[in-house]
Chain A
Amino acid sequence: EAGVVQSPRYKIIEKKQPVAFWCNPISGHNTLYWYLQNLGQGPELLIRYENEEAVDDSQLPKDRFSAERLKGVDSTLKIQPAELGDSAVYLCASSLGGINSPLHFGNGTRLTVT
């Protein structure tokens, strides 16, 4: 099966600019996650979708971050405006759903804000 696809792989922007990341989950996976991973640290959950519904966005900084999952498949994560501290790897993951269903991660987008 094809894995989780993310794009772009790398993005360099100046602070205060907007940026968007795209994720295509594994076919049939209803649950989609966006994580942030800083260098040398574990992933931190930003938002979880069940189909097109955001069921856990408590960790998403809503003043500058937004996400959508149209039609319950692809998802985009947006930052506007970006800050220097947003430099990190943004990971998308999907799962079949259900408790303890394994997460399948994409290779992430490495964001550098200058």
Chain B
Amino acid sequence: QQQVKQSPQSLIVQKGGISIINCAYENTAFDYFPWYQQFPGKGPALLIAIRPDVSEKKEGRFTISFNKSAKQFSLHIMDSQPGDSATYFCAASKGSNYQLIWGAGTKLIIKP
């Protein structure tokens, strides 16, 4: 019940296309859902985060869509660029619990 399931494991998208990564969770107590971006040899960096009181959050080309009833959330990268090539992790946490539950990651490759 603590798991966050992320898909796909890897994704190849043409430059200019839309990249979509999905995550699903079981624990309805989760109330914070961040996405982290990790480049090779670097630590993860927070990209964008959402709370369940909104269904969508957009920051530039990055959008989180949140479906509370389905217990799913997804990251959309519009106009994907080669510089977006990285591994993306979704995560979730609940209330006063500081511990993030991480997805397994999606390796995204944007082809020029």
Residues of B within 8 A of A31 (CB): 98
Interface of A, helix, strand, loop or mixed by DSSP: loop
Do residues A99 and B46 form an inter-chain contact, with CB atoms below 8 A? no
Q: Which residues in window 51-72 of A have CB below 8 A to B?
A: 56
Bound complex: CA of A37 vs CA of B42, how far in Å? 12
Do residues A43 and B44 form an inter-chain contact, with CB atoms below 8 A? yes
Do residues B105 and A40 form an inter-chain contact, with CB atoms below 8 A? yes
Do residues B100 and A103 form an inter-chain contact, with CB atoms below 8 A? yes
Our pick among B43, B98, B104 for the contact of A91 (Cβ within 8 Å) is B43
Bound complex: CA of A31 vs CA of B100, how far in Å? 14
Do residues B46 and A103 form an inter-chain contact, with CB atoms below 8 A? yes
8 closest cross-chain pairs (CB), A and B: A105-B43, A42-B102, A102-B46, A100-B32, A42-B89, A105-B44, A91-B43, A107-B42
Q: Does A25 contact B (CB under 8 A)?
A: no
Bound complex: CA of A61 vs CA of B22, how far in Å? 32
- Per-position contact with A for B62-89: 1 when CB-CB < 8 Å, else 0? 0000000000000000000000000001
Q: Does B91 contact A (CB under 8 A)?
A: yes
* Residues of B near any A CB (own CB < 8 A): 32, 34, 36, 41-46, 49, 51, 89, 91, 93, 95-96, 98-100, 102-105, 107
Bound complex: CA of A31 vs CA of B36, how far in Å? 18
Do residues B95 and A99 form an inter-chain contact, with CB atoms below 8 A? yes
Residues of B within 8 A of A44 (CB): 102
Residues of B within 8 A of A108 (CB): 42-43
Residues of A within 8 A of B100 (CB): 45, 103
Do residues B103 and A42 form an inter-chain contact, with CB atoms below 8 A? yes
Do residues A99 and B43 form an inter-chain contact, with CB atoms below 8 A? no
Known contacts A42-B91, A56-B99, A100-B49, A93 near B43 by CB under 8 Å: yes
Residues of A within 8 A of B41 (CB): 107
Give min CB distance, A74 to chain B, whole Å.
17
Residues of A within 8 A of B42 (CB): 105, 107-108
